[in-house]
Amino acid sequence: MRFIHEALSARVLFGAGTRTELRREADRLAITRALVLTTPEQATMADMVADLLEGACAGRFTGARMHTPIDVTEAALAALRDTRADGVIAIGGGSTTGLAKAIALRTGVPQIILPTTYAGSEVTAVLGETADGRKTTQRMLDVLPETVIYDVELTLGLPVAMSVTSGLNAIAHAAEALYAADVSPIVALIAEEGVRALTTALPRIVETPRNPDARSDALYGAWLCGTTLGLVGMGLHHKLCHVLGGSFDLPHAETHSVLLPYALAFNLEAAPAALAALKRATGWRDPAQGLWAFANRLGVPPSLQAIGMPESGIDQATDLAIQSQYPNPRPVTRDGVRALLHHAWRGDGPAGGGED
């Protein structure tokens, strides 16, 4: 056996009520004037964070948006300058985390992230940004948050539909990590456990949304899945999601949720180790078909068409997805990608068996 494994050095606080450690973490990072970041929908959470900071809050920016548009980052940078903030604290999902990373890349200020979804990007050194209808991704340690505070209590009110698609988004990270060109045995173990945790937790959340044990398991799984995203390169599925999000402004988590079964059906025949790991983690004979049935049972939108993808955009998305080369277990061809997107747009479902 021969492999290379590199770990990332983010500090993680996990549990119920861990948000009360926020001021201590800010002090540890020498943050005396924090700019709190949220989306418009979660603006009230900025007040809670300000209270936890006990006087170390310099201001709030509540305009974070999906796919991290450059114009939003510029507005947030202006707020950082105006408030003379020396650190950022993001509370929310991938949109606020992405904005914190974009600010850190340009200024070097430290970041503390309080996730309220299962996005997983808070433990990665990856930043995706959108400008002129194109989403580009870069990987560098400069954007890795210094501290992540996972407080299970912050996820108890996450709407069920958002919980499901956010969890499936996290599963996508681990699924692609399992067949990544640079996967190590450590990453494979983390990915398999992350998939197991989330596929067992999400149905329990649907049944009892405020179940703290189910929420804890889901957040644990999201952390693991996000960790794999930060350690290895992603393949066709993530490339397609970035293209669809950047070009058509499709909702991020829903795009991952709809597309993943089709991407797995495309790739798993060329990735036997990943196929075996997903079978162990889920108990499904055919993980691609099993995931599709699982998502449908939990109420995920049935197709790309249902989340706003125009049929006329299939060819454009195909061309964008094959413009550059990237590691993928199965060769990426125009015909193959177009067929994948066509079936996902229609919601036909991947071919194969079903859930046990």
Query: What CATH number labels 160-346?
Result: 1.20.1090.10
Percent of the chain whose predicted confidence (pLDDT) is above 70:
99
Per-residue pLDDT tens over the stretch 181-215: 999 999 999 999 999 999 999 999 999 999 999 99
Task: Say yes or no to pLDDT of 351 above 80.
Answer: no
Q: What's the rounded mean pLDDT across residues 308-333? A: 94
Going by the DSSP 8-state scheme, the letter that residue 157 receives in this structure is T
Cα distance between residue 248 and residue 262, in whole Å = 19
Residues 6+ apart with CB under 8 A from 315: 338
Q: Give residue 42's pLDDT band: very low, low, confident or very high (50, 70, 90).
A: very high
Q: Which helix (H) or strand (E) holds 58?
A: strand 57-61
We find that the CATH architecture of domain 11-155 is 3-Layer(aba) Sandwich (3.40)
Does the pTM surpass 0.75? The reply is: yes
Per-residue pLDDT tens over the stretch 91-119: 999 999 999 999 999 999 999 999 999 98
3-state secondary structure of 11: strand
The domains of the chain are located at: 11-155, 160-346
Give me the pLDDT at residue 353, please.
36
Please name which of 274, 280, 271, 248 lies closest in space to residue 345, comparing C-alpha atoms. 248
Q: Give residue 132's pLDDT band: very low, low, confident or very high (50, 70, 90).
A: confident
Percent of the chain whose predicted confidence (pLDDT) is above 90:
90
Q: What are phi and psi of 59, to 5 degrees?
A: 175, 180
Task: Say yes or no to pLDDT of 354 above 60.
Answer: no
**Token pair for residue 42?**
């979660």
